[in-house]
Structure 1
Amino acid sequence: MSITRFHAVTMLAALAGFAVGQSAWAGDAIPAGQDNAIARDPRQALADAGIEFNATYIGELLGNVSGGMRTGAIYTGRLDLGTTIDLEKVAGWTGATFHANMYQINGDGLSRSYIGNLMLVSGVEALPSTRLYELWIEQKLAGGRLAIRVGQQASDVEFIDSAYDDIFINSALGWPGITGTDLPAGGPSPPLAAPGIRVKADLSDKITAYLALFDGNASPWSGLDPQLTNQNGLLFRINDPPWWIGQLKYRFEIGENKLPASITGGGWYSMMSFADQRLSIEGRSLADPDSSGMPALLRRNQGVFVVYEQMLSRAAPDSDKGIAFFARASVSPSDRNLISSYFDGGLLFTGFSAAQPNDKFGVAATYARISDAARELDRDVQLFTGTPYPIRDYEAILEVTYQAEVRENILVQPVFEYITHPGGGAVDPNDPTQTHRIRNAVMFGVRTTLTY
């Protein structure tokens, strides 16, 4: 589908939503004596009728001041336009909700152009595009305890997620670095969602089960960046071998102050084939000049993960603000994955300022271990070339950030990241001898978030 056609489709969808909203608004007259503020606010009237629109713009000025492939600065931005419609209010469909949103992405990426790291310094970084992201309907049953969602959707909001990691900018502190690197197209996460079915069931007041089945690849195999082969998010792929993910979340309270905590355990399973990280189809090392250079294909892939989060102290009795902690860990097979084990964790501080009650401060770190098979390939390169070719080992990132609420809908967020062993300790592409790693990098930046 062309860009022009895509714009036409999105405009028609917006106009249809507006027309439905206008009809609902016109049909629900405001009772005499009610606050006329609602009459002056079309958005509130639409929300009352079951139609919500949202707009968020994230703008980032980020600079690599030391190390990496080269120093420099970039500006990148992402406009997110979305709508959520209560189909019960609008069309009488009990328990149903419709949601859609799209991105307009602009600017360069600091990781791809300046640093060369695996876990992108920003979750906003993506190739410039106008893209449909999510498009789904959710049906709630059994009094809301069971929810089934069908359509193009993302997995990062509910799976392998913590309530305390949203402040952080690094992409791996959203969708974990291991799944974002190992899965085709990074898995269903920004900037590419995938068609799927998600089932969420509240088994008790403390236990929630999640299970989802997605198409295994949001973009066709081509050797190009997946964002180029599904540039506008309109492929709606459903014929690839599937990807499953499931988890069980248990919520509990700790101590006399009943501090909230939860532990989540789960796993994922892909039915696709994955490239061997070391061996060719002939069984030779990929570094061997006599090999075809075509990696062997290994059937299936999987991973297991655990997430723990806890509030450590409250800013005030019965407050949901205070000091909170989270940690996540995941492992996958070494022979078919670049990253075989992953860990991250962090601390979130909120409610520490009476003058700025909604400000947040966070410190977090990520660690991604390069798999044994990929390391062996690097040793093979040393053997066949006779050069001190770097052996990749890990990539680790420290992030420190402060989110200040300037106004209710304006956030300004300075951020610092220190990136150790970019690319897992990969060779610097600017080194003609192919013997030096990409240098550790230091990133400073500021994110501005505007919401409506």
Structure 2
Amino acid sequence: MPRVPLSLSRARRRGRSPVFIAPLLGMLLAAAPVWAQSIPTTGPAAASGTAPVAGDAGPDFFTGLFSPSRNNLLLDMDGLRTSLGNVGISFGLQETSEVLGNVTGGVHTGADYDGMTEMSVGLDTQKAFGWVGGIFNVSALQIHGRNLSTDNLDVLQQASGIEADRSTRLWEMWYQQSFFEGATDIKIGQQSIDQEFMVSQYSSTVFMNMMMGWPMLPSADMYAGGPAYPLASLGVRLRAQPTHAITVLAGVFDDNPAGGSFYNDSQVRGAEAWGGAFNLNTGALWIAELQYAVNQPALGDMVSPDQSPGLPGTYKIGFWYDSGSFPDQEYDTLGVPLASPASNGDPLMRRGNESLYALADQMVWRSSPESPRSVGVFARAMVAPPDRNQISASYDGGLVVKDPLPGRDNDNFGLGFGVAKVSSALANYDNEVAYYTNRYDPAQGIETFLEATYQYQIAPWWLVQPDFQYFFNPSGGIPNPLEPTRRIANEAVFGLRTVITF
């Protein structure tokens, strides 16, 4: 069975859908006056908030456009947010738009626009009807534009974490119930596990590259990239905090959110195009994570972790196991190399798959406990068996500087890197293809990227982010499809993202 290179066989394919007006608004607003730089804000993490702000009628809507208390562009919507909040209902609307382009390397040079609109509705059951500790959440995505990583780059570690198939789809839909004054809670329903598991707070909130959010290893080794953006799966998640420092996360989920075979995992496949396939036919994904926090505020303290007496940090170790079947990367069902002319083309299916991972987020310096200026570092590593996986190891790390410039309390500057190691079994397959076909077909190895990024918080509701990435050995060194006798050249990628919270 002929196989395409890893970067193509697991690429995020695209469908068609309408483009929202919000992306155009976002890019036009990027030309805002320079005077806005001096206005203090509340930080990029607050950009997703939907807290009501009074006084959105008349000229105040425009004169307070860059107010540090304005968490939403549309404010209280003439009292609508407050009225709904009084009965426990909250809603959010956020548009992320970006332009990315490679000026060197890749299959060819060029630029693409892509964007993602996220809509969400939440219900606090205590405010709604007196049921203490309950939260219901439903969210949807509208993904538009093109995908530079597929069109131009052919990289493993996608240049943007929002690149995905164009579609309008249900994302998450779950109910969460807390117990014992919040020390334990259970979540049931359609969930995207990248919101809680394997998460580095420093990397996922600052960097643009896909690997800094949902890592490369599960993206390549799980069915359809796993139940992670833009997909989700039915499941149950339990969280418990036996001590102030220790948190335990564990869950079981459908392992195949797209519902197709391992090599036919398009996000717009059949009923899954709108996010409602609810597949339960492949296997179960079991995942558990142990978290240990240091120098965190005591329970009940009205301060953030960044203001704790010591330097705060979080350390996590985790494990996942998938009970489904996974194709061997080198041999067919007869034990013959898949690259051999004698192969029947059907890969040997191996039962079960697993991975171990560890990550750390640690603040290493700050000017004072009251100051936002600080430096934090992060690191994450994970491994998986090489015989049934396309990626056997992935690593990422870096540093984040908060308040990097005078008067820019809510800006962030980040330097990071990512490494993806193609499995030895897949590399052997590549060598065997070259042997049997007597053509230039180099074995895939290691792909590395570097990223430098700056989050410029113009207002609490508006973030602008210039970004630079450089990819070494794209896809581990595959031939350029337009020049088959040469590998894809190293790539320099520039980008600009804008995030608007309505």
TM-score, normalised via structure 1 length: 0.88
Q: What is the identity, as a one-letter code, of the residue corresponding to 1:172?
A: M
Equivalent residue number for residue 236 of structure 1? 278
Q: 1:437 aligns with which of 487, 494, 500?
A: 487
Which of structures 1 and 2 has the larger relative contact order (alpha carbons within 8 angstroms, sep 6+)? Answer: 2
Q: What is the identity, as a one-letter code, of the residue corresponding to 1:149?
A: K
Report if aligned partners of 1:38, 1:45 keep a CA contact under 8 Å in 2: no
Report if aligned partners of 2:372, 2:409 keep a CA contact under 8 Å in 1: no
Equivalent residue number for residue 52 of structure 1? 90
CA distance in 2, matches of 1:404, 1:303: 36
Equivalent residue number for residue 326 of structure 1? 378
Shift of the 225–301 alpha-carbon distance from structure 1 to 2, 3 Å rule, reads closer
Task: Tell me by how many angstroms 1:320 deviates.
Answer: 5.2
SS in structure 1 at match of 2:228:
coil
Q: 1:93 aligns with which of 131, 137, 142?
A: 131
Matching of residues 278-297 of structure 1 within 5 Å: 278-297=330-349
Equivalent residue number for residue 210 of structure 1? 249
Aligned length: 415
Report if aligned partners of 1:217, 1:237 keep a CA contact under 8 Å in 2: yes
Matching of residues 4-403 of structure 1 within 5 Å: 40-165=78-203, 166-222=205-261, 223-229=263-269, 230-253=272-295, 258-319=310-371, 321-403=373-455
CA distance in 2, matches of 1:424, 1:39: 50
Report if aligned partners of 1:303, 1:332 keep a CA contact under 8 Å in 2: yes
Equivalent residue number for residue 28 of structure 1? none
Q: What is the identity, as a one-letter code, of the residue corresponding to 1:186?
A: G
SS in structure 1 at match of 2:202:
coil
Report if aligned partners of 2:357, 2:383 keep a CA contact under 8 Å in 1: yes
- Per-residue deviation, residues 109-154 of structure 1 (Å, max 9, x unmatched): 0001111111111011111100100000001011111110000011
CA distance in 1, matches of 2:340, 2:76: 72
Q: What is the identity, as a one-letter code, of the residue corresponding to 2:88?
A: G
Q: What is the identity, as a one-letter code, of the residue corresponding to 2:291?
A: K
Equivalent residue number for residue 23 of structure 1? none
Deviates more, 1:83-92 or 1:146-155: 83-92
Deviates more, 1:83-92 or 1:411-420: 83-92
CA distance in 1, matches of 2:267, 2:467: 26
Q: What is the identity, as a one-letter code, of the residue corresponding to 2:327?
A: A
Task: Tell me by how many angstroms 1:38 deviates.
Answer: 7.7
- Per-residue deviation, residues 339-361 of structure 1 (Å, max 9, x unmatched): 10111001011123342211110
Task: Give the % identical residues.
Answer: 37
Q: Which structure shows the bigger proportion of residues in strand conformation? A: 1
- Per-residue deviation, residues 344-395 of structure 1 (Å, max 9, x unmatched): 0010111233422111100110001111101111111121122342111011
Task: Tell me by how many angstroms 1:436 deviates.
Answer: 2.3
- Per-residue deviation, residues 34-57 of structure 1 (Å, max 9, x unmatched): xxx989532133223311111110
Equivalent residue number for residue 404 of structure 1? 456
CA distance in 2, matches of 1:305, 1:327: 11
SS in structure 2 at match of 1:121:
coil
Report if aligned partners of 1:391, 1:426 keep a CA contact under 8 Å in 2: yes
CA distance in 2, matches of 1:290, 1:126: 37
TM-score, normalised via structure 2 length: 0.80
Report if aligned partners of 2:259, 2:277 keep a CA contact under 8 Å in 1: no
Shift of the 385–155 alpha-carbon distance from structure 1 to 2, 3 Å rule, reads same
CA distance in 2, matches of 1:84, 1:92: 15
